[in-house]
Amino acid sequence: MDGVAEHTRLRVQQAIVDLGYRYNALARSLKKQQSSLIGHIVPSIAGPVSPVLARAVEEEAQKSGYNVILCNSFERVEKERANVNVLLERRVEGMIFSAPMLPESVSTVRTKGVPVVIIERRSELSGFYYVDPDNLKGAYEAVKYLIDLGHKRIAMIVGLPSAIISKLRTEGYERALSDAGLSASADLMADGNYTRASGYEAMERFLALDPRPTAVFAGNDAMAIGAMQAAYHAGLQIPRDISVVGFDDTHADLTIPQLTSVHQPLNEIGTLATKILIAQINGTASEYPFENVLPCYLKERESCGPVPPD
């Protein structure tokens, strides 16, 4: 309180104590048109990927003086729309979408003049900044690893076929087979929904085939773990009887045997997405490209081995 007499300053401070006055950040943000808030919409905080991303986003945002409002869409279109509306009402200065369900949700935010960054690229969205793991190359390397072990009959649990990550990981699977002179067949591909239960059901279907696959590549670790459980309940040993590879590298070291999985750099993805968003807010985003694809790598553990003898 510069320029205020000492006795006046003391009286004001005493009045603050007596009245229980609390600083109103919202009122200040309305006056300055700055809320210091960022919105982050994720499919579900209960999954293994979103919590890691959310933590990275919050930690990076706090370095620049921003707080994060985290919203779950629960994979429901109406919930995603509601989240967008709530965040706009709270006057967030930018939004990060992890795996947005609706292109129009993202477009709506931009029409309001609010900067956006997308985690997990959506091919139908152009002109937006996005940060993505290299899903295609990661899947390619996983399947090539199995081929190098001698496997030729390799199945894939795809995940949600409509999701861009499923499309990219499937493309990597098919390209690796093609480069090795092998072909993907419909009976060796099963849709899932990124849950353990769907991986379990897919493996049951594969094990009923004659001949059955000697290896399975799953589109995420949850489905890979479900596949491993189905193999165990069928009396098979991994990797002696069948090999399994996952994707994401989340909790893969907690399985028995430990799961070989494609590691995606979740911390780096969340951090970079936040840096780009804040740069947009500050008008300095030109230093970043629109397309930001971070490399993945295969983390070898214990769930893969050579082709079992006939």
CATH homologous superfamily of 21-133+266-294: Response regulator (3.40.50.2300)
DSSP of the chain, one letter per residue?
-TTS-HHHHHHHHHHHHHHT----HHHHHHHHT---EEEEEES-TTSSSHHHHHHHHHHHHHHTT-EEEEEE-TT-HHHHHHHHHHHHHTT-SEEEEES-S-HHHHHHHHHTT--EEEES--TT--SSEEEEE-HHHHHHHHHHHHHHTT--SEEEE---TTSHHHHHHHHHHHHHHHHTT----GGGEE---SSHHHHHHHHHHHHTSSSPPSEEEESSHHHHHHHHHHHHHTT--TTTT-EEEEEE-SSGGGSSSPPEEEE--HHHHHHHHHHHHHHHHHT-GGGS-SEEEE--EEE--SS--SPPP-
Give start-end residues of each CATH 3.40.50.2300 domain in the chain: 21-133+266-294, 135-264
Q: Which of 12-21, 78-87, 171-180, 235-244 shows the lowest mean pLDDT across its residues?
A: 12-21
Q: Which two tokens stand for residue 39?
A: 């919105």
What is the average pLDDT value for the chain, to the nearest integer? Answer: 90
- Is domain 135-264 classified as CATH 3.10.105.10? no
pLDDT, tens digit, 9 for 90 and up, residues 155-195: 999 988 878 889 999 999 999 999 999 998 999 999 999 99
Report the predicted TM-score, pTM, of the whole model to 2 decimal places: 0.85
The pLDDT score that the predictor gives to residue 31 is 44
Report the alpha-carbon distance of residue 145 to residue 177 in Å, rounded.
11
Among candidates 291, 259, 286, 256, which has minimal Cα distance to 273? 291
**What is the C-alpha separation between 256 and 22, in angstroms, rounded?**
54
pLDDT digits (tens, 9 = 90+) for 250-289: 989 999 999 999 999 999 999 999 999 999 999 999 999 9
CA R_g for the chain: 24
**102-152 tens-digit pLDDT:** 888 898 999 999 999 999 866 667 789 999 999 999 999 999 999 999 999
